[in-house]
Amino acid sequence: MRRYLLVTALLISFNCLGQGDNLTVEQQRLSFIRGQWTVDGSELTYIEICDWIQGNHLECKASSKEDKADNSVSYFSYSKSENVYIYYGLYGNGSSRTLRGQWIDDRFIFEGQRQISDKQIKWRVTMKPNSGKIDFLEERSVDNGEWKEIARFQYKPAIEQKN
């Protein structure tokens, strides 16, 4: 029994090694998102931790002490067959969304849409690396109307908390 447990533990360990290794050029573009992040004014209450998981997908887990609706799990990936980046977010308020994007010039631009009640909602999210930080812009359009900014902030590296 012990030998079985040891072998199982070793296989699990080896399976977890190398995540983020052998990345394609497209996957490497996601690398700036990897790390521990927070935003100004919420340094003590909000953290988002992003790291590679099996299959060279990037997983981000957000945790808020102030608003549980801000807790989320998000995934970034690249689909070689579709030549597109994919973002999938699961949010603490019970909602989810999928956005598809491209690396354009020096930033990611993700877009998605959904029919909500009688309205067509479109989202556009821009993420740009900026001197070790990430500029974040989210816009929304309702029924093909004008794009309106609904969020703009800068992710900055989170400082590890000492207990």
Query: Domain for residue 71, yes or no?
Result: yes
Structural domain harbouring 99: 2-157
What does the pLDDT look like over 126-143, one tens digit per residue?
A: 999 999 999 999 999 999
How confident is the model at residue 4, as a pLDDT? 40
Domain presence at residue 104? yes
Q: Is the pLDDT of residue 109 over 50?
A: yes
Average pLDDT, the chain: 88
Check which CATH number belongs to the domain holding 71 and give it.
2.40.128.20
Q: Quick one: three-class SS letters along the chain?
A: CHHHHHHHHHHHHHHHCCCCCCCCHHHHHHHHHCEEEEECCCCCCEEEEEEEECCCEEEEEEEECCCHHHCEEEEEEEECCCCEEEEEEEECCCCEEEEEEEEECCEEEEEEEEEECCEEEEEEEEEEEECCEEEEEEEEEECCCCCEEEEEEEEEECCCCCC
Query: What is the number of domains present in the chain?
Result: 1
Report the share of the chain in percent with pLDDT over 70: 85
- Whether pLDDT at 161 is above 90: no
pLDDT tens digits for range 57-92: 999 999 999 988 889 999 999 999 999 999 999 999
Quick one: pLDDT band at residue 20, thresholds 50, 70, 90? low
pTM summary value: 0.83
Is residue 163, in this structure, part of any structural domain at all? no
pLDDT of residue 160: 67
Domain presence at residue 162: no
Domain contains 83: yes
- In-domain check, residue 22: yes
